[in-house]
C-alpha cells in the first residue's frame, strides 16, 4: 500500500526549531518529487516547499524561504523539513505529499498521495 507517514510535530516556542519527517512506503520514493503543504487552524491550504526526486532541486514559498530547509534521504525513503526561527504564524498541520506521475509524465503540483499530517504549534 502506498503510504506517507509524518512525524516530528509538537509545541515549540517562537524562535525555536523543529524537524519534521515523512516516511514513505509502497512506491519507489527516490524517483518522485515531494512537497510539504500546511494548513493553519481554520484556514486554507498553503504550499510550503518541494524537492525533486532526481537532482535534488528545491523550491520554497516566500513565507518560509531562508528559515525552512527541505531535504530527503532516498536510502531511508524519508522526506524532511527543518524549520528554524519559527513564528506563531507557522502554526499549522503539515502534510507531506507525493507528486503524481503517470504514463511517464509527472504533473507539477498534482499531489496524488498525502500523509495524515503532523501538528506544529508555535507558542510561548
Partner 1 sequence: QSVLTQPPSASGTPGQRVTISCSGSSSNIGSNYVNWYQQLPGTAPKLLIYSNNQRPSGVPDRFSGSKSGTSASLAISGLQSEDEADYYCAAWDDSLDGYVFGTGTKVTVL
- State the residues that interact with partner 1 by CB under 8 A: 35, 37, 44-47, 50, 59-62, 95, 100, 107-112, 114-117
Strand-pair partners of 96: 36
Between the two ends of the chain, the Cα-to-Cα distance in Å is 39
Nearest CB to partner 1, comparing residues 103 and 124: 103
Nearest CB to partner 1, comparing residues 11 and 110: 110
The label of the residue with cell 507531506 reads: 96
- Closest distance of CB 31 from partner 1, Å: 18
Contacts of range 103-106, beta carbons closer than 8 Å, 24 or more positions apart = 106/32, 106/33
- Closest distance of CB 32 from partner 1, Å: 14
Amino acid at each position: 500500500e502506498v503510504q506517507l507517514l509524518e512525524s516530528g510535530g509538537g509545541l515549540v516556542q517562537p524562535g525555536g526549531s523543529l524537524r519534521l519527517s515523512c516516511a514513505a512506503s509502497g512506491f519507489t520514493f527516490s524517483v518522485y518529487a515531494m512537497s510539504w503543504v500546511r494548513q493553519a487552524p481554520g484556514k486554507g491550504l498553503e504550499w510550503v516547499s518541494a524537492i525533486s526526486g532526481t537532482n535534488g532541486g528545491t523550491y520554497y514559498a516566500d513565507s518560509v524561504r531562508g528559515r525552512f530547509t527541505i531535504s530527503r534521504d532516498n536510502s531511508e525513503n524519508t522526506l524532511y523539513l527543518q524549520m528554524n526561527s519559527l513564528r506563531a504564524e507557522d502554526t499549522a498541520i503539515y502534510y507531506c505529499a507525493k507528486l503524481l506521475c503517470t504514463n511517464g509524465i509527472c504533473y507539477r503540483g498534482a499531489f496524488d498521495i498525502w500523509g495524515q499530517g503532523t501538528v506544529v504549534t508555535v507558542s510561548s
